[in-house]
Each structure stands twice: as structure tokens, then as C-alpha cells.
Amino acid sequence: MPNKVIIIDYGSQVTQLIARRIREAGVYSEIHACTVTADEVRAMHPQAIVLSGGPASVGEEDAPKLDAGLLELGVPVLGICYGMQVLTATLGGELAQSTTREYGPAELEILEQTPLWDTVPATSRVWMSHGDRVIKVPHGFKVTARTQTLDIAAMACEERRIYAVQFHPEVHHTEEGSKMLANFLFRVAGLEPDWTMSSFVERTVAEMKEKVGDKHVICALSGGIDSTVVAVLLNRAIGQNLHCIFVNNGLLRAGEVEEVKSLLGDTIGINLTVVDARSRFLDKLAGVEDPEKKRKIIGHTFIDIFDEEAKKITQVDYLAQGTLYPDVIESVSSKGPSAVIKSHHNVGGLPETMKLQLIEPLRELFKDEVRKVAKELGLPDSIVWRQPFPGPGLAIRVLGEVTEDRLQILRAADSIVQEELKASGWYRKVWQGFAVLLPLKTVGVMGDGRTYEHVIALRVVDSVDAMTADWSRLPHDLVAKISGRIINEVNGVNRVVYDVSSKPPSTIEWE
């Protein structure tokens, strides 16, 4: 097993960033809710512990606490923001409460050298976000840095290897933050970087082989990166005992079915069944205009088909899914964990109806790590950098009734959007870019004649997690090129509009 750092989550918005920075430094890290006990953490055999920030005030009645036993495990501890305050309170230092928050950049001045500051300049910019502050460090600690507004911006007890900082080393605005975290891992805790994607692949393939043995696994492929990586990993582990199902629902983009068949089936040799269910989906969608009804019909039809296919395989025991780490982390409020675990919305409902055990080989990974694994597995850039695509496919981008004619128009327009985003280098810069076919026609003029044809909306957004998004400021020339090509090359379209709405209050998809 690789080295492991446990992050105790006190509810900060940026706790996930701590995990990512530590992993980027090459050390595996896991987030646990602040209600975890010292005994539970001991059983996880961590090599270091990080206490995250959080919105609470230590003096408040139900503010989350620190199990003092965590400081007796003999592993180094780094407290960040609230983590520093809760350490101070637990170890007998003093805090001052504040009604105002200090938020933003500050200049850190190092007062005492410690391994945490190794090769960090004497002054550097850090990012603050705190109300309360430490006014007296606990016994055995020394003040190691200050800022103009804060006399105690960092403290340390080198004998016990306990360090604390009031600022956030995990955010990019803290210039030397990554170095400080690396110093904590390598200088203080003496770890070696051993979390690499090739070690992940090796370990996961071995684990899957061991777990599945000679049993059979079924996996739904979507053409996206997550399910593709799951399938390729399992194919390495159990070969023909993996049964992949790719449902062609007729709502896919141009060329997608062929791409999946050729890459996963022919080149990689995955045991793949492509189900041609185009007419089944289209028949069920006939006459349906309501977005929610469309989504439900597509979801149910998918489950029915998947179920039918599974029954054709002699004995299936496991269902493989591409669940990622952010779906698994318990979300924590300042009052403790709320234990909300999101379900994977593409295949929601499958495990219950099919009574299969789940296999989720990516549940430790962040999205950027999945991309690295995909690269490690030798998958092409078209998969590694693929933008998200919704389960209900083009049906929620053909506004109003979904018919083959209208799908064809959208598919042709969408191909142009994809081509031009890729050719201009914008495909990787934006979160998603696609075309939407509107349920209306407008008047145009072509040659000497009047036209009355469809409108395509361009939707291109920037986002980090799809929870919020803003419309991408594409260069006007690029928008002009896409619009010109769509109107010239796609029969039945005489107008293109650009969607300039942010999320919220709009959503990324139109339906």
C-alpha cells in the first residue's frame, strides 16, 4: 500500500484542494469527517494528518472538536486555519474571537526557521480567510511567522512534529503553498512520493483480479472517459469475464458508436456488445415534448435494455461503475458530517433492480487523476480530453419533440462545433461546447429567396465542476466561423445565436 495522509475535514470549501495538492505532490490522501475518532484513524495507518479549515468558531457551543488522541498517534500533524485554532484550544493556547473576517491576500513574514519553511523566501504572499485568531500559542510551541495584521500567523512544536498555519497553503493564491505542503510531507513526515498513476493501475488491476476471481462483471459504457477507463482496467484484470454493454440509443453524436466499437472492441479487445436500440428509444420519445418526461423515458428504457442484456449472460455477480472520489466524500457542515453521498446519476437505479454487487475502481480518484490513468493506459486524446456528455444525449438538446430529422440537423451542427473548437485549441480550454436545436423557425434570405428555417443555439461554458458555470468568451472570429459553417453546411438552418447566460440562474443544458 502507498503512504497515506488523512485529512480531517472541518467543513472548509477548499478541503478537497488539500487532498489534491497532496496527491499532486505524489502522496495518497483521504478526506474524513471531523467526527472520526483517533482509534478509527489509527486503524487507517496514516503517515501524517492534516486538519482542514472550517467555518465554525472554536468557542461556539457545537463547534467541531479535535479528538486529542489524534495528537498521540506519533504522526506529524498540520493544522490549517480552523485546524490551527482547534489545535490551539485543545493544547491550552488562547484564541480571540472576532466578528469580522479577514479575507484575501496578506504578506507572510517568517520569524523562525522550521522544516515547513525549507526554501520558502523570508516573505511571500499567502491567502487568508478567517475570523478568530490565536493570541497565545500552546505550551511548547513557538511562533514561526506573522503578517501585518496577525502576530501569530503560524506556529510549530518541532519535537512533537505539530505545525499550524492560519492561512490556506492549498489555494493557488498562496505563492509558496505547494512547497509548504511538500515540505510537510517530505521534510517533516519524511515520506517518499509513491502515489503515481502507474502504481495505481498496477495495484487496481491486481485488486480487481483478486476480488472478482472467476466471477463475471457487467459494465455499461457511455463513450465517456470514466466508464472507458473502468472497462480498460477491468479488461486487464479479468479479460473476457468482463461484459461491456454499449447502448446505441440513437441520441449520440456523429461517429460515436463507430469510435467505441473500433477503439474498445477492435483495438483493445474488450468483450463488447453494442445494442442497436435506436428505434426503440425514438418510438418511446415520439410526441413527447416535456424535458423531464424525456429524461425519465430515456432512463427507464436504458435500464430495461441493460437488464435484458445482463440476463443473456450466464451468471453476473458484479456491476462496474465509474464513480469518482468527489461522489463519495461525505459532505460536512460546520455542525458535523451530513453524510450526503451522491449517487451516480447515469446508472442510478441499476444496482437495486439487478441485485448486483458494485465494483468502483475509480472511487479514490479525482477527475484529473482519471485523465492521467487514461493516458497511462494508452487511451487516445479523444477519450482523455473528452468533454462531459449527458446520459440522455442529444434528446435534451433537441428542444421539443425528438425526431430523426431534427436529430440529424443537430448532429450535423454539433459536428461543426466540435471540429472548430478542436481546430482552434478551445476544446480543452472550455468545460463544454455544443449546439442546441431550438423549437422554432425564423425568416432569412438566401440568394433571391426568402427562407423560413431552424435556429441553432451555441452553448459554450467555462466551469470547474459544472455546479456553476459562465459562458465562454470565445473570440468573435471563432463564433463567426462556427456560425458561418453551420448556416452554409447544415440544411434547414438559417440562424445561429450564442447563449450568454451563466449558471445559476440558467443551467448548462437547455432541458
378 Cα distance to chain centroid:
21
Residue 222 CB, shortest distance to ligand XMP, in Å, is 8
Side-by-side strand order, sheet with 242-248: 272-276, 242-248, 217-221, 318-320, 357-359
Residue 43 DSSP label:
H
Question: Which of residues 186 and 389 has its CB atom nearest to ligand XMP in the complex?
Answer: 389
The Cα 441–Cα 273 span in angstroms is: 40
Residue 331 CB, shortest distance to ligand XMP, in Å, is 18
Residues 6+ apart with CB under 8 A from 102: 128, 129, 130, 131, 149, 150
Q: What are phi and psi of 299, to 5 degrees?
A: -60, -50
The Cα 341–Cα 343 span in angstroms is: 6
Question: Which of residues 83 and 391 has its CB atom nearest to ligand XMP in the complex?
Answer: 391
**Active-site residue, from 32, 34, 130, 170:** 170
Helix axes 278-285, 291-312, angle to 10 degrees: 150
Look at strands 242-248 and 272-276 and give their pairing: parallel
Q: In sequence order, what are the beta bridge partners of 217?
A: 242, 318
Residues 6+ apart with CB under 8 A from 511: 291, 294, 295, 396, 397, 399
Question: Which of residues 56 and 374 has its CB atom nearest to ligand XMP in the complex?
Answer: 374
Closest to 130 in 3D by CA, of 114, 109, 157, 106: 106
Q: In sequence order, what are the beta bridge partners of 146?
A: 109
Residue 466 CB, shortest distance to ligand XMP, in Å, is 4
CB 100 within 8 A of CB 148: no
Which is it for the CA torsion 420, 425, 427, 433, positive or negative? negative
Burial 351-381 (b: 16+ CB within 10 A, else e): eeeeebeebbbbebbbeebbbbbbebbebee
Residue 267 CB, shortest distance to ligand XMP, in Å, is 25
Question: Which of residues 223 and 390 has its CB atom nearest to ligand XMP in the complex?
Answer: 390
Question: Which of residues 75 and 229 has its CB atom nearest to ligand XMP in the complex?
Answer: 229
Question: Which of residues 445 and 467 has its CB atom nearest to ligand XMP in the complex?
Answer: 467
Question: Which of residues 376 and 462 has its CB atom nearest to ligand XMP in the complex?
Answer: 462
474 Cα distance to chain centroid:
24
Question: Which of residues 361 and 390 has its CB atom nearest to ligand XMP in the complex?
Answer: 390
**Active-site residue, from 32, 34, 81, 454:** 81
Which three cell numbers, joined as nine digits, stand for 63? 463547534
Helix axes 476-489, 404-424, angle to 10 degrees: 150
Length of the chain: 511
Residue 283 CB, shortest distance to ligand XMP, in Å, is 21
Residue 132 CB, shortest distance to ligand XMP, in Å, is 36
The Cα 381–Cα 255 span in angstroms is: 16
- Hey, is 106 helix, strand or coil? strand
- Does residue 81 carry a catalytic annotation? yes
Residue 148 DSSP label:
S
The Cα 243–Cα 328 span in angstroms is: 25
Residue 366 CB, shortest distance to ligand XMP, in Å, is 16
CB 184 within 8 A of CB 98: no
Residue 393 CB, shortest distance to ligand XMP, in Å, is 9
What is the binding site for ligand XMP (CB under 6 A)?
345-346, 388, 390-392, 432, 466, 503, 507-509
Helix (H) or strand (E) holding 228: helix 225-238
**Active-site residue, from 32, 130, 157, 168:** 168
Residue 435 CB, shortest distance to ligand XMP, in Å, is 13
Question: Which of residues 102 and 509 has its CB atom nearest to ligand XMP in the complex?
Answer: 509
Residue 330 CB, shortest distance to ligand XMP, in Å, is 22
Question: Which of residues 35 and 502 has its CB atom nearest to ligand XMP in the complex?
Answer: 502
Catalytic residues: 81, 168, 170
